[in-house]
Amino acid sequence: MIITAGETLWMRTLSADDAEEVYRVIDSNRDHLRAWLPWVDGTDSPTVSENVIALWQSAYESGSDIVLGIFRGGEYVGNIGLHDISRAKHSGMIGYWLAANHQGLGIMTDCVRALTGYAFDELSLNRVCIHCAIENKKSRAIPERLGFVQEGVLQDGECLDGTFHDLVIYGMIRRNWRKPDFASSV
- Position 1 scores a pLDDT of 93
pLDDT band with cut points at 50, 70 and 90 for residue 80: very high
Per-residue pLDDT tens for 159-177?
888 899 999 999 999 999 9
Complete edge-to-edge strand list for the sheet that includes strand 91-98: 149-160, 163-173, 127-133, 91-98, 75-86, 66-72, 9-13, 2-6, 184-185
Domain count, the chain: 1
Residue 186 has pLDDT above 60, yes or no: no
pLDDT band with cut points at 50, 70 and 90 for residue 91: very high
pTM value is 0.91
Rg for the chain, CA atoms, rounded: 16
Domain that holds residue 46: 2-185
- Position 97 scores a pLDDT of 96
Residue 179 has pLDDT above 70, yes or no: no
CATH number of the domain within which 14 lies: 3.40.630.30
Residue 180 has pLDDT above 70, yes or no: no
Residue 117 has pLDDT above 90, yes or no: yes
Ramachandran assignment for 185, one of left (phi > 0), alpha (psi -120 to 50 degrees), beta (any other): beta
pLDDT band with cut points at 50, 70 and 90 for residue 185: very low
Alpha helices in 18-132 (DSSP H): 19-28, 30-34, 46-62, 107-121
Residue 181 has pLDDT above 80, yes or no: no
